[in-house]
Amino acid sequence: MKKKNISFYVAIVLSVLLSIVVITILVLWTKEIKRNKDEIEFIESLETYIEKDGIVNLLSKANIKVDNIYNTEKGLEIFVNSNYDKIFSIDEEINKKIYNNNKNSVVYITCEKGSNFSQGSGVIINKTGYILTNKHVLLDNSDEIYVYLSNDESKPAKLIGSDNDTDIALLKIESDNLEPVVIENSLLNVGQKVLSITNPRGFERSLSCGVVSGLNRPIRDISKGIVMDLIQTDVFVSKGSSGGALFNSKGNLIGIVTSIESKSGKYEGSAFAIPSQIILNIVPQLIENGYVKRGWVDFNFIPLDFTLKNYLKLDINNGLVVNEVLKNGKAYKAGLKQGSIAVEYMSKNIFIGGDIITHVNKTIVNNFNDFYLALSNTKPNDIIDFTVYRNNEYKDLKIELIERPKTVGIK
């Protein structure tokens, strides 16, 4: 009986001990799960912060100066004093990586027509041989266009298409093992870092670093046309840089270098690039059509200047006087009225008494260039809002567009 009691108590003690062990294990396991969860959440938070603001800003939060962070032969090292053998800073490492990843994607372009010669840069955008450059790099009706790759190979290039409005041209070469850039379609911010790889003065694949200085800039290009919505930057640009690549700090293409703004004709601190959003919209049309289809109208007009305003005795200050409307055309069917009284004005016969266009898509139009730019991002068959002044009151019309003739250009 006594032995049975002892066995009973031993069993109880063992059960209690086992329960304690199990509970302890469960508690430790729960804590480990929570710790792992906390670590995962912490790592995810760090990754989100680094992706958004960069590792430099993260380290700055810890009061670690960027100038004290370097990559040495031992790897990443953080120094608290100046007694170290500096190799490359984080920023320099980023520059090196972007350059080495993209240098083979930038080409040198030459163009000849008779005794005339031009040179510039270009960017490989896919493995099938399409190369972007500026239209002004190429001579009209060129005899020969050659592309020089990073391996010193030269390839004859075919012009696939070009666009005056954006100063973009698309070439194609036949070659294996091409290394295209990655084109990023993202919004830019003034102040963000940019890097260019171009061929200034024929110095092939030169790297320059800078920042985005401004956005949506309109610039008159070398062919005297106006190119809209450009990126302004302070990267170095010289003759031969046109058509080169502009990258962000991830090493993705965000623009094609196109021009400078300078009274001397030399670089004075401001360069401009065509943003990737425009490139991605233009390239498919160049491949398909050889040009970009844009919307236009089937009527003609005369800008309302001060002299014409007084001649017509009008009480409005801006607009385009509708001269003639194509009968049974798109504008005609939309209700646009042409002039009905023929008069001689500035040695020309015009029709007066019709509509005066004051706004296109809510934008005031005073002259041909205003009208041209208001329709620059439209396509044939788009239906556009026009505001006209008729019989001393304003009237809204919706007019379907036709395809813009190739002979129409900004003045």
Known catalytic residues are 136, 167, 242
User: Cα 130 vs. chain centroid, distance in angstroms?
Assistant: 18
Backbone angles phi, psi at 377, to 5 degrees: -105, 20
DSSP 404: P
Going from the C-alpha of 259 to that of each of 122, 138, 166, 350, the distances in angstroms are 14, 14, 12, 40
CA distance 104 to 329: 51
Contact 365, 357 (CB under 8 A): yes
- Angle between helix axes 2-61 and 90-102 (nearest 10 degrees) is 80
Q: Which class for 175: exposed (0-12), middle (13-18), buried (19 or more C-beta within 10 A)?
A: middle
CA distance 25 to 32: 10
Question: Could you please report the per-residue DSSP string of 87-108?
Answer: -EEHHHHHHHHHHHHHGGGEEE
Q: Look at residue 132 and give its three-state secondary structure.
A: strand
Contact 153, 173 (CB under 8 A): no
CA distance 77 to 87: 10
Task: Give the other-Cβ count within 10 Å of 315's Cβ.
Answer: 7
In terms of Cα–Cα distance, which of 107, 237, 116, 113 is closest to 181?
A: 107
Question: Could you please report the per-residue DSSP string of 139-204?
Answer: PTT-SEEEEE-TTS-EEE-EEEEEETTTTEEEEE---SS--PPPB------TT-EEEEEE-GGG-T
Structure tokens at 27: 């508690």
Going from the C-alpha of 77 to that of each of 63, 127, 250, 306, the distances in angstroms are 15, 39, 22, 70
